[in-house]
Amino acid sequence: MRIALLGYGKMGRVIEQIALDRGHEISFKIDVANKEDREKISPENTDAVIEFSSPASAFDNLQFCMKKGLKVVSGTTGWLDKKAEIEKLCNENEAAFFYASNYSIGVNLFFQLNKQLAKLMNGQNQYEVTSNEIHHTEKLDSPSGTAITLAEGIIEGIEGKDSWVNQEIAKANEVPIWSSREGTVPGTHSIKYISAVDEIEIKHEAKSRQGFALGAVIAAEWIKDKKGVLNMDQMLGF
């Protein structure tokens, strides 16, 4: 299949190599240096777009793609306050929009584990929950999209939790997220339940960008013949 890359940084280059290794063709590689070439992308020359750009560029990129009726896999975080607008454009133009805060298959299994643990901990009021995330210093948004998804899973499972906060002491109804930016760390996430007598922890640690890139390419393959708003839970059959 023909895949266009919107965003050609470190992640874009890893996605390119995996796509080529899986027998695909790269129809376009769009970045700041050649952003005007984005206008050439169309359903006639591209089967799927993989968008890993920046929080400042993502909404404009996705608007363009939806209006063209393209099939898009997006992994950019930090713009989600406008996600509903993109979903509306997707349905109006019979496009396909697949979004995930994290494309690693392991992380998406971790999301499910987090939800199950939260359900088990519901009512165990002797435990305080906290979330920690560590990423490389080039990551622009904080907290990460993955950390937000994990916090939402906790909120879904524990009665009385209805929001999250970042880098501040949480109130009883809030899930605290503590974010760090260190070196070249691809991504580490942990959830802890702490009581006076013990501590329960689940953790996911990425070793490289390969897992994220592979998941994005698999998603692009999956949406090739689909329309509408799609996600990892549907693709993985959760």
Q: Which element (helix H / strand E) includes 225?
A: none
Both tokens assigned to 3:
């895949």
198/55 Cα distance (integer angstroms): 39
54 is in an annotated binding site: no
Q: 115, 139, 192, 227: which one is catalytic?
A: 139
Q: Is 83 a catalytic residue?
A: no
Q: How far is CA 203 from the centre of its chain?
A: 17
The first and second tokens of residue 79, run together, are 């713009």
- Amino acid of residue 89: L
What does 66-83 look like in DSSP terms, one character per residue? Answer: HHTT-EEEE---S-GGGH
- Alpha-carbon dihedral angle through residues 12, 17, 19, 20, given to the nearest 10 degrees: 140
- Angstrom distances, CA of residue 15 to CA of 39, 46, 225: 21, 16, 20
179 is in an annotated binding site: no
Mark whether 189 is an active-site residue.
Answer: no
Q: Does 76 show up as a binding residue in the annotation?
A: yes
Is residue 69 annotated as involved in ligand binding? Answer: no
State yes or no: 163 annotated in a binding site. Answer: no
Q: Has 146 been labeled as part of a binding site? A: yes
Alpha carbon distance 133, 131 (integer Å)? 7
Determine if residue 75 is labeled as part of a ligand binding site.
yes
Angle between helices 10-21 and 210-223 (to 10 degrees): 60
Annotated active-site residue in 135, 161, 189, 204: 135
CA-based angle 125:129:132, to the nearest 5?
175
Catalytic residues, by residue number, are 135, 139
Binding residue numbers for NADP(+): 35
Binding residue numbers: 35, 75-77, 100-103, 136, 145-146
Binding residue numbers for NAD(+): 75-77, 100-103
Binding residue numbers for (S)-2,3,4,5-tetrahydrodipicolinate: 136, 145-146
